[in-house]
Structure 1
């Protein structure tokens, strides 16, 4: 039997509106669309349950805007997941738009089994929110967090940094004052195909670096640990689900556009990644016909290095060697030694870490490791 899969990501693609910076697979709802989505989701959950040994520790409903689902729709969605795949024993996260929160809805989400809320605050300044195309205001964001905390959720607040004219100090101070235990701070990026790209919006490198450094300075001074390059937490408040990604664990990916990392019994492979098609094809294409990206041991290692070096704790090379069947240090010692000498990496016993400067050039570090693989 395959090793158990202990984490599940479920994608809800529906949003009230499409933000001008968003390049995720999202769409506004149309008549009957959610009903089709729920029927297909039940079929996918049944398929995953028949294919994998599932024993969940964490569940994450992301989007899109999962909290945009109507109460009966959310109830049905949770019910079908519980019926076919179970529920997380350690952490169950719901992504929430501040404008969708009422006390009654927050209590329903809690009663359904969610215990962690990831709130898309983005800013606590109305002008910044307007620039970002958000349809909630700062007061709604504050009220939403207060309600969620009062109902009993562990709350994470999402911020976008490097926004022109942003009062980043005020955003961070406001979230801390509200009492969130976790903050994710992501740099505004302009992706091709977005409204911002079409409008020619640009992010200045100096704003990106200022946001990166200032966020770390302010949050660590307030007792938050920077446990991942863009994520900060109070003690014991880390996102257990996201840590599964960053430590290269297996996880189910359900819903249109969702990606999953799966165990496999195929000879010569450690795992496989499958990315679901977008909604139209997801509703029709047989699940068993979806193409898998084969993950051989060298691919597994470079994936684990790329994600793990984002973490404050770094990568345990002995553990990674055990999991991959490769002697990681022996195989990649030339590029790793090179970057250690340049001060971009740090080796503490068997643990490899990226320095602050190294986190800025992880793509190059991994490219140098891939160069080793290309010579096989």
Structure 2
């Protein structure tokens, strides 16, 4: 039986962070109750699937009332065949409580992804975060005391913030027994300080990678670093084009069939999702597009995309024709070939969006 990954989108937040591009709304207890019931309704349509990874994200899942979180966790175990390799829940420092951690651990959660972003209050204020450095450190200690694996999210290259604060944040974090850190470059998805231009982006990017490497964190994906092989099993499904099902509004899903790959997304608002008036937008991915998807997502991994695997799946002629068309990227040191794999160089990682767009342009041309 094939194992799937499950993703649950909990869109509630106490406030909207200035940099965030994910779908979220301000927390409301009445809406929360109705939304969880709507997720239970959707869960039943996939009853009996075998599951090996679960990820509850958002938004801020830890804003849920304990009873509503418990109802969701019980529904997961009641409706799916569970062969868990990893169970992650996202939390923000201000909403980490002993009661929530105990509940999560009791239901098999073994990994928390904590939205720290920075350990300096003025930087957190700049980002629009509502927690303090003290709350972040307290949350880290609580999570580790429960014996849970911890991923810490941080943001670097923040407009007007001194780069030293990023490195100091990493210095503090790596003194804890944490085995996973996600480091994201600040994104201009909003108008916040959109005129800011940074000419030191490459230096900052390399500084983060080099510092984490010096502390034993190996980069396994463009924004993710792990010790002792503790990479995210669930997120790796996205990059390796493995099957996953998303629940809740704005959640995406993907299933590979023998002859086709199907993607779908729950489009609409929370209110429409609750009232069952949302749209399930489905798309059958053509085989040529599947090839580009495999490359575009797979190249995010430091190990890259195995060329022989691509040939086995899509044919030698397709792959060799593609390789001829991307010689420019190799000549300009954006990509390289290592151990039979197509990989990004450091320069290619820095300009990931442009490299991926180059691949897509080949598909559409």
Q: For 1:205, what is the secondary structure of its paired residue?
A: coil
- 1:345 counterpart residue number: 335
Aligned residues: 361
Note the C-alpha offset of 1:339: 2.1
The answer to whether residue 288 in structure 2 is matched with residue 298 in structure 1 is: yes
* Matched-pair contact (CA < 8 Å) for 1:67–1:97: yes
Q: Does 1:284 align with 2:279?
A: no
Question: Contact 1:161 / 1:208 at 8 angstroms: preserved in 2?
Answer: no
Q: Secondary structure at the match of 2:174?
A: helix
Match of 1:121 in 2: 116
Contact 1:162 1:210 in 2 (8 A): no
Q: Show the 5 A alignment for 1:1-376.
A: 4-49=2-47, 54-87=49-82, 89-163=84-158, 164-166=160-162, 167-192=165-190, 197=191, 199-264=192-257, 270-277=260-267, 278-285=269-276, 290-324=280-314, 327-374=317-364
How far 1:92 sits from its partner (Å)?
A: 0.3
CA distance in 1, matches of 2:360, 2:275: 36
Offset of residue 6 of structure 1: 1.7
Counterpart CA distance in 2 for 1:6 and 1:106 is 25
* Residues 47-88 of structure 1 deviation map (CA, whole Å, 9 limit, x = unaligned): 123xxx722111000000001111111100111122112445
Deviates more, 1:123-132 or 1:350-359: 350-359
Counterparts of 1:284 and 1:324, CA distance in 2: 42
Aligned-CA RMSD value:
2.1
Aligned-partner SS, 1:217: helix
Change (3 A) 1:89 1:324: farther
Separation in structure 2 between the aligned mates of residue 187 and residue 372 of structure 1, nearest angstrom: 27
* Distance in 2 of aligned mates of 1:5 and 1:284: 30
Distance (Å, rounded) in 1 between the aligned partners of 2:362 and 2:134: 52
Please give the TM-score of this superposition, normalised by the length of structure 1: 0.89
Q: Contact conserved, 2:5 with 2:243, CA < 8 A, in 1?
A: yes
Query: 1:57, 1:88 within 8 Å by CA — same for their partners in 2?
Result: yes
SS in 2 for 1:177: coil
How far 1:97 sits from its partner (Å)? Answer: 0.6
TM-score by length of 2: 0.92
Q: Can you give the 5+ residue segments of structure 2 that lack an aligned partner in the other structure?
A: none
For the residue of structure 2 that corresponds to 1:206, the secondary structure is coil
Deviation at residue 23 of structure 1 after TM alignment: 2.0
**Distance in 2 separating the partners of 1:209 and 1:123:** 20
- Alignment CA distance shift 1:290-1:103 (3 Å): closer
Deviations 1:348-374, CA, capped at 9 Å, x for gaps: 353111111122334444444444434
Deviation, 1:328, is 4.5
Shift of 1:313: 0.5
The offset of 1:333, in angstroms, is 2.1
